């Protein structure tokens, strides 16, 4: 190794950096930043932009999907493909075998020198749960990209619409679950995942979402819009439902704060004083998320969620049918205020 260092100082330094698990200096500067008035885009699409921006400066970033790369936006176009006898690529084609994908990702992370990610639909996270559980048990820095994150995905219907999956992933010790609401939160989620010592799960939308009216991104929670009578907590696409609910409440003379909580684990880990700054304890709090309500009662006085299976319909109709609308959230807030 000493001879190699002398003969190839730059290559040896790069090899030792990767084996040590250190990311290249200044890599964060290459994360995309989006204007707050940018047009609508699915967070899965923003994630694909982040992957390719970072792939140019983090050569050890490699990954693939369980035969869903076009849908999960996880291809590195300039990366080349891994195949038998062809090991110089960066894109893995795992096939429809989520558990094997998770096992391979664990092996790559345990070996070191690479930062692996793997992707599938959120509802299929059940198929790789034993491998994901080992990622958490061994604290391996594997990044799981789960797209099509709610009934908002639409017509594929209840077999493909996740309900209980967010709650079940959050129940895994040592796993950081990240559900961003727009491009800037998606970039911040990738940064959090790459800086984490253990595994992370990025939960991304199929449907297009507008940019948030703020570029203040904190993965542990941020005030998106303020009000002084109640607080609405939300993640992912439901942050936009919460903002619409705030408008409904304003028309009825009620001021509501909207707080985005991309990661409940990160929020929970913050000091109590910061909790109180984000979510004033003297005001009633309502949460909204298009998934099982289990776990949200820790944070909210009233919970708007989905404790039933979905239905085959366009995403907006499925959300309305399952009670994830601005009116539903506004009515829950008014109920906490006895109005």
Q: Which residues are catalytic?
A: 98
Placement of tokens 């639909």 in the chain = 121
Burial track 269-282 (b if 16+ CB lie within 10 A, e otherwise): eeeeeebeebbeee
> 287 - beta bridge partners?
233, 303
Whether the CB-CB separation of 233 and 280 falls below 8 Å is answered with no
> 297 - beta bridge partners?
none
Distance separating alpha carbons of residues 23 and 19, to the nearest angstrom: 10
What are the φ/ψ torsions at residue 126 (nearest 5 degrees)?
-60, -35
Backbone region of residue 236 per phi and psi (left: phi > 0; alpha: psi in -120 to 50; beta: other values): left
Of 136, 137, 97, 141, the residue nearest 120 (C-alpha): 97
The DSSP annotation for 86-139 comes to B-S-SEEE--S-HHHHHHHHHHHHHH-S-EEEEEEEGGGGGGGHHHHHHHHHHT
Q: Which residues contact 126 (CB under 8 A, 6 or more apart)?
A: 165
Q: Radius of gyration over alpha carbons of the chain, in Å? A: 21
- Whether the CA torsion 217, 53, 269, 256 is positive or negative: it is positive
Length of the chain: 339
């Amino acid at each position: 190794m000493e001879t190699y260092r002398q003969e190839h100082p730059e290559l040896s330094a790069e090899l030792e950096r990767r084996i040590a698990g250190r990311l290249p200096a200044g890599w964060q500067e290459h994360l995309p930043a989006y204007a707050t008035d940018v047009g609508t885009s699915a967070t899965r699409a923003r994630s694909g932009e982040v992957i390719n921006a970072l792939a140019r400066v983090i050569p050890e970033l490699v990954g693939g999907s369980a035969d869903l790369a076009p849908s999960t936006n996880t291809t590195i176009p300039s990366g080349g493909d891994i195949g038998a006898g062809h090991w110089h690529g960066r894109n893995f084609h795992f096939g429809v075998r989520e558990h094997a994908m998770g096992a391979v990702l664990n092996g790559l992370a345990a070996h070191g020198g690479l930062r692996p990610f793997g992707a599938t639909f959120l509802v299929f996270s059940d198929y790789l749960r034993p491998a994901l559980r080992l990622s958490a048990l061994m604290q391996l820095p594997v990044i799981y990209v789960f797209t099509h994150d709610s009934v908002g995905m639409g017509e594929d219907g209840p077999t493909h619409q996740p309900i209980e999956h967010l709650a079940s992933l959050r129940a895994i010790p040592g796993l950081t679950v990240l559900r961003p609401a727009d491009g800037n939160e998606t970039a911040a989620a990738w940064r959090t995942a790459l800086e984490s010592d253990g595994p992370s799960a990025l939960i991304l939308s199929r449907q297009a979402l507008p940019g948030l009216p703020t570029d203040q991104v904190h993965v542990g929670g941020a005030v998106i819009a303020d009000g002084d009578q109640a607080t609405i907590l939300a993640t992912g696409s439901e942050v936009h439902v919460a903002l619409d609910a705030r408008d409904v409440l304003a028309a009825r003379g009620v001021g509501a704060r909207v707080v985005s909580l991309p990661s409940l684990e990160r929020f929970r880990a913050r000091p109590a004083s910061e909790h109180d700054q984000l979510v004033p304890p003297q005001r009633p709090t309502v949460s909204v998320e298009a998934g099982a309500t289990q776990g949200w009662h820790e944070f909210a006085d009233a919970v708007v969620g989905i404790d039933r299976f979905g239905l085959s319909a366009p995403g907006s109709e499925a959300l309305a049918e399952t009670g994830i609308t601005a009116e539903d959230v506004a009515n829950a807030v008014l109920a906490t205020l006895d109005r």
